[in-house]
Amino acid sequence: MSRNGQVLLRVENLVKWFPITRGIIFTRTIGYVHAVDGVTFEIRRGETLGLVGESGCGKSTVGRTILQLYRPTRGHVYFDGIDLTQLKGSELRRMRRRMQIIFQDPYASLNPRMTVGQIIAEPLEIHGIARGKEARERVEELLRLVGLNPIFADRYPHEFSGGQRQRIGIARALALQPDFIVCDEPISALDVSIQAQIVNLLQELQERFHLTYLFIAHDLAMVRHISDRVAVMYLGKIVELADRIELYENPLHPYTQALLSAVPVPDPAVEARRQRIILRGEVPSPVNPPSGCRFHPRCPIAQEICKRVEPEWREVRPNHWVACHLAE
């Protein structure tokens, strides 16, 4: 919530390409998936930056590359002033303690053969922070913190519902008292009535521990609700970034405009009045992204220049960034 807080994370020109290989014995690279293709942004201490965009546009790759779970192809990630891309081994491990991730799929992300207690205690033991009785006490405290009964520590993940498993994932992420958490679609797999429980919990924890979030989602209404600022991605690029109110009330990029207009609003009276911008076609492949502005084949207002020249990332008005030749 702190608008003027210090910068905790600065991402500079981040690029992540995944090689596409052929052959089994003599593998050769025949191309690259341009998953993230040069993104720059900052996250201030204590704030939530929302990251939205359609499936495959590179949101998770941004999150993972920030945490160095993927090493970037190019670019820099400064966390508290330190460039993570230059760190290795124990130095990186020490920094990683301060950064955690919560995944979309609460089913796949918890080891089914470990008890909930072991799952939550694992990071404490790996980093040599607590073990035995002390770890156990910490686990119970964490379970209480995320709204679960401490006696659950001896049960296995399959005994829990999706929402409860997500709470377990959050408890584990909090174990090392991080500063920064990448929330990668933490509620997408949950039912509507449970989503609100988890979002409320994340907000309470943020206030209590002064956490900084990168909140990845494709539910634009939820992102508006939880974020202080929002970044919109399309095909490996961030195309627009602004304050939560500014972005939704005054979107400048044609893709953001189309995306917002496509989101259904749960009110029939509002729906009856709304005009949708129906985009033609589908998102092109990130293997050979279109020339110039990547959005030009689908953009309803594209000009000749858009095919040739990539639009600059510009601050069109204070704190409102956009990459479009025509935005002003």
* Complete edge-to-edge strand list for the sheet that includes strand 229-234: 99-102, 180-184, 212-216, 48-52, 229-234, 237-243, 320-322, 314-317
- The answer to whether 53 contacts ligand SF4 (rule: CB under 6 A) is no
The site partner of 60 among Mg ion, ligand SF4, another protein, none (C-beta below 5 to 8 Å per kind) is Mg ion
Rounded CA Rg of the chain = 21
C-alpha dihedral, 235 to 55 to 78 to 223, nearest 10° = 120
Nearest to Mg ion of 37, 140 (CB atom): 37
Name the token pair of 317: 């008005």
User: Rounded CA gap, 75 and 69, in Å?
Assistant: 15
- The answer to whether 65 contacts Mg ion (rule: CB under 5 A) is no
| Min separation Cβ 28 and Mg ion, Å | 28
Binder among 18, 32, 78, 156 for ligand ATP (CB under 6 A): 18
- The answer to whether 128 contacts another protein (rule: CB under 8 A) is no
Q: Are 230 and 224 in contact (CB under 8 A)?
A: yes
Alpha-carbon dihedral sign for residues 287, 290, 291, 292: negative
Q: Are 95 and 79 in contact (CB under 8 A)?
A: yes
- The answer to whether 61 contacts Mg ion (rule: CB under 5 A) is no
Binder among 48, 61, 68, 85 for ligand ATP (CB under 6 A): 61
Binder among 99, 256, 302, 320 for ligand SF4 (CB under 6 A): 302
- The answer to whether 326 contacts ligand SF4 (rule: CB under 6 A) is yes
Please tell me the count of residues contacting another protein according to CB under 8 A. Answer: 45
Name the token pair of 292: 């110039």
Nearest to Mg ion of 191, 207 (CB atom): 191
Residues comprising the chain, all counted: 328
> Does residue 57 come out as left (phi exceeding 0), alpha (psi in the -120 to 50 range) or beta?
alpha
Nearest to Mg ion of 115, 188 (CB atom): 188
The site partner of 311 among ligand SF4, ligand ATP, another protein, none (C-beta below 5 to 8 Å per kind) is ligand SF4
User: Rounded CA gap, 7 and 20, in Å?
Assistant: 36
Range in contact with Mg ion (rule: CB under 5 A) among 14-22, 60-68, 168-176, 296-304: 60-68
Note the residues at the interface with another protein (CB under 8 A): 54-55, 161, 163, 191-197, 199-200, 203, 218, 220-222, 224-226, 245, 248-249, 258-272, 274, 276, 278-279, 282-283
- Residues near ligand SF4 (CB under 6 A): 253-254, 293, 295-296, 299, 301-303, 306, 311, 324-326
